[in-house]
Chain A
Amino acid sequence: MRKSVLIVEDEPNIVESLTFLLERAGFDVLSEPDGNRALARITECAPDLVILDVMLPNRSGFDILRDLRLKGQTAPKVMMLTAKGQARDQQMAEDIGVDVFMTKPFANAELVARARLLVGL
């Protein structure tokens, strides 16, 4: 059974690569570039996995994750993908319920492997 992933990322070239990689790995892929609309898209699409950038237009990935987890939901799984790779950023993300924290630039194979693992593919 295919799994779905929503990529919340504002850099189109990164979205294009991620889409290509994840489709080949067995995901149905959606994307959203705007931080303000991300939460509504998650509710609407109910993806199995969200790949979430931190520095997004209008709303940070940290805020989106916090709102998502404040609703008491452990689903969907969230992989945070960020250029902000300091230990305190990772700690903050873990404190508010991230499942995987990866820094940019990432290795394609590792990202795909971790995404598949998160959703049991």
Chain B
Amino acid sequence: MAGQLVGTRIREARRKMGLTQRQLAAEAGVSASYLNLIEHNKRRIAGVRLQALARALDMPAAVLNEGPDSAQLAELRAVATAQSGMDPTQIEVFIAQFPGWAQSVAALSRQNHDLREAITVLSDRLSHDPFLAETLHSVLSNITAIRSAAGILSTVDDIAPDQQRRFVRSIHDESRRLSNAATALSAYLDRASEGAAAAATPEEAVDRFMLRHGYRFAALDAGGTIASLLADAPELDSQAAHAMAHDLLARYASDAAALPLEAFAKSAAQLFYNPHALGQHFGSSQIRVYRRLATLRRDGIAAPRFGLLVVNAAGQPVWRQPLESFALPRHGAACALWPIFQAFSTPDRSSVAALSLTDGTAITALSLAEQTATAPVGQAPNYQAAMLLIPDESLEAIAPWFPRPQGMSKVGTACAICTRTDCAARSRAAYLTEIPQTAG
């Protein structure tokens, strides 16, 4: 594709310099009619002729030849995919004709994505931060008492003096409490804006710990202990966070013992990172293979990048490893349309889906539900489901076995921040319904 549009880039560069086709052709030593064919992408151009045209246009031949970088292409492709009525095949033409506008659109798209990420984090906090919930409840109680007592004093004339004094004292006491609550809230928000706020929930503390380690624990792969990792974990500021991190590390250590890093990395590369084949090869559950694949890429191992979400049957995340382009809520409440939830209805059957988020992000997902262990007689089995997130950049590495899904499924991140107002799966209103909708 890039090679076919060299002509468009030559035409745009010529126009910018204010040259006619005839003038440029003369400068580069080609005929005007041949240049006309080149500029309309009807003749391929390379080698000496491309060099001559590049010299005449005073720009490197590589810029004419290679066109926009792949990151910009991918960004704009995501925008085009999310907008109805836009033709993704015209992206290169757009970039070549309007490079400044293309840069702005890509930058706005990035900014939009970052803002949505921030909203996800904040809405998570608003919904689950015990300090905020308790303080806001206290503030409302203080205001209720003040308003009611003040209302009585201002509208009732025949109040006994001692009763009147009690209401005045009540207003005084509640005002002081209100002031204290407001001061505490302000200090808390100041700390939060400086990024130094304590983790609001054990889940957030564990996230910080996992993020610091990049979800990979070389020490456990080398036979080290969980205790030594937990001894150096200042993020884990509560017993609950400590216990949750311990569970995750125990799972990682168990995965490392069942699928040793070196052997797994070698087989994974040979089998093109196919979880089903790897599961059979190692006699392992597929969700264990998913976890191992998601943490495989690191210094010295050039594996594809994956994200991963594993949830229990109640939809509660038990392993979450988001990608920059795909946020994963900490407390459940994810989009009901994600294929990970549909996987529970067909256990042990993998499904692939191409997902399109409201901000235009496109991502491919491989989902599966499986029983966690054999259930004792008379007891219901436990199930978990997993969704391996595969960014576009990783599709090539798995191409030999991966069935590319047809069509896109429009999904969101969570109802609280989703702008798809007509979604049949919506469970609550969005916090910010005025966010401009970028999806079609």
Contacts and interface: CB of A to CB of B under 8 A. Distances in A.
A74 interface: no
A84 B428 CA distance: 16
Interface string B139-179: 01101110111011001100000010011001001100000
A95 interface: no
Given A20-B163, A55-B137, A83-B137, A11 B145 contact: yes
Contact of A21 (B152, B170, B174): B152
A11 B141 contact: yes
B167 A17 contact: yes
Tell me whether chain A's interface is mostly helix, strand or loop, or mixed: helix
B137 A106 contact: no
A21 B149 CA distance: 10
Contact of B166 (A16, A83, A108): A16
A79 to B, nearest CB: 14
Interface string B227-267: 00000000000000000000000000000000000000000
A13 interface: yes
B140 A108 contact: no
Contacts of B156: 24
Nearest to B170: A13
The B contact surface, by secondary structure, is helix
A93 interface: no
Contacts of A13: 145, 149, 170, 173-174
Contacts of B144: 11, 14, 83, 104-106
A115 interface: no
Given A21-B152, A84-B137, A104-B140, 10 more contacts: A11-B144, A11-B145, A17-B148, A17-B149, A20-B152, A21-B148, A88-B428, A104-B141, A107-B151, A108-B155
14 contacts: A11-B144, A13-B145, A14-B148, A17-B145, A17-B148, A83-B144, A87-B429, A104-B141, A104-B144, A105-B144, A105-B147, A106-B147, A106-B148, A108-B155
Nearest to B148: A17
B179 to A, nearest CB: 15
A18 interface: yes
A87 B429 CA distance: 10
A17 B173 CA distance: 14
B140 A105 contact: yes
A70 B136 CA distance: 31
Most buried by B among A11, A13, A84: A13
Interface string A10-33: 010110111011001000000000
Contacts of A20: 152, 163, 167
A83 B143 CA distance: 10
A17 B166 CA distance: 10
